[in-house]
Chains A and B, each alone.
Chain A
Amino acid sequence: MERKVGLLYLPNANINSWVNFLEYYGCKVKVLNFGDEFNELDAVIVPGVGHFEKASRYLQRRALDKYLFEIVKSDKTIIGVCLGMHLLFQGSMEGGGLGLGVFEGYVKPFSEVVNHNTNIGWSEIEVHGEENRRVYFNHSYYVSSDQNNAVAWNVFEGFRYSAITRTKNIIGIQFHPEKSYSDGWALLERFIYE
């Protein structure tokens, strides 16, 4: 059955990657700006790529933070990816600024815990209760593995951190499912179709 997926417009996000990916797997996609109708959608994605502080300011300036809270209250599935995931937390050390606070905790830099400041590449992640999946990461900031809502984990230079975080209808994904070929879709499909 075709699913209708909203894609929140953020100025530095890889919007076209997401449109391509979702349409390839048979979803109908609607790019969302503030105030756009979302009732007919099955899920809303907050895409990644960008800088936390800039994105946080953009959300507040356009009242998109309030708009996202409306979607949260409506019980729609919301999926934040990479930077989109970070925006669901209370804040980030990437320039500062406030997140939506849907998840507790702050996003921190890799430079504090490992030798290299950015994790770029393919890793096999551990998913709670499921088989491991090979997915693509590209990020310099991470969410702690101790985060209460973590349901999947990754390791970078021996350091374990959260790869997927979830509370009810809100899901945060640190890697890029839209760039992880069939394994990315296998993980995302579950959230969109459940």
Chain B
Amino acid sequence: MSDSDKRKIPVILLRDEVAIKSYGFSSYEYVGDPIQIAHIFSEKEVDELIIVDPFVSNGSHEINRKLLLSIANNFHGPLTYSGGVSSACIASEIIQLGYEKIAVNAATTGSRVNITDVASAIGKQALVLVFDLVVRNGELFLYNHVAQMDERIELSWIVEFINTCDVGEVLLQFVDRDGSRVGLESEITEHIAKEINKQLIVGCGAISHNEIKIYLEKSNTSAVVVSAVYTFYPDSNSVLINYE
């Protein structure tokens, strides 16, 4: 009997029914069929899988429920969905499709999503609060997909926000590291991890399986979200869906 293991979570990014890889949340590369990729991750019995449709959030299309259902039908592990969930009703609908958790973006809470409403429908354990962060010239910014702009914030604001929100866990994504393979962020992440009472996940920038392993051993985070390492051959951009 042991405490929960730290999780390694692959992510599938959707665009027009295909899986893509993003770089700095601004340029994209084709990866493959998201249903096939979900099936491969299921065979590898990954800890969890996150499906993200960033283009729903900026209003370019509706949530593709048919695709989300097909993905859920081909994946037998824990599933999280992120993108355009703007009400408790939509969150419930996605859960019924076969997803255990819904992620909502901190930059759109209040204006588009009422976290308390969503938590009281699906339970706080099923709710993930996402911060898309940009570090520029030593300052911290919160990136807003809907407005496609960022806003300067203080670290203390993030901590206060997290501690007053009824969510089960928090995902920090460091936008400028996305697809760069420069390493997972630790300074800001560790500061936040020590100040909050929620599980903390960090995403963007992982270099290799070994770095992920060492990072999880040393950090106070409970999970990492990984894209490039689980999508490509090491040191190349040829697709190889892998997990260890």
Segment at the B interface, from A11-19, A59-67, A68-76, A164-172: A11-19
In the complex, whether B54 has a CB less than 8 A from a CB of chain A is: no
Q: Which of B163-186 contact A (CB under 8 A)?
A: 168-169
Number of interface residues of B (CB under 8 A): 39
Question: Known: A51-B120, A138-B78. Contact between A17 and B1, CB under 8 A?
Answer: no
Q: Which of B22-48 contact A (CB under 8 A)?
A: 45, 47
Question: Known: A120-B222, A137-B4. Contact between A50 and B168, CB under 8 A?
Answer: no
Question: Known: A49-B122, A118-B168, A181-B76. Contact between A17 and B100, CB under 8 A?
Answer: yes
Residues of the B chain whose Cβ atoms lie less than 8 Å from the Cβ of A115: 197
A138 to B122, CA, bound (A): 12
Interface size class of A (residues with CB under 8 A): 35 or more
Q: Which of B80-105 contact A (CB under 8 A)?
A: 92, 95-101
- Interface contact B1-A49, CB-CB below 8 Å: no
Q: Which of A9-36 contact B (CB under 8 A)?
A: 11-17, 20-21, 24
Residues of the A chain whose Cβ atoms lie less than 8 Å from the Cβ of B1: 123-126, 132, 153-155, 160
In the complex, whether A193 has a CB less than 8 A from a CB of chain B is: no
- Interface contact B4-A156, CB-CB below 8 Å: yes
- Interface contact B199-A179, CB-CB below 8 Å: no
Segment at the A interface, from B123-131, B132-140, B144-152, B226-234: B123-131
In the complex, whether A129 has a CB less than 8 A from a CB of chain B is: no
- Interface contact A118-B96, CB-CB below 8 Å: no
- Interface contact B121-A181, CB-CB below 8 Å: no
A157 to B7, CA, bound (A): 16
A-B pairs, 9 with minimum CB distance: A121-B4, A16-B98, A118-B168, A17-B98, A126-B1, A179-B78, A140-B125, A51-B123, A12-B92
**Which A residues fall within an 8 A CB radius of B?**
11-17, 20-21, 24, 49-54, 83, 94-95, 111, 115-126, 132, 136-140, 153-158, 160, 176, 179, 181
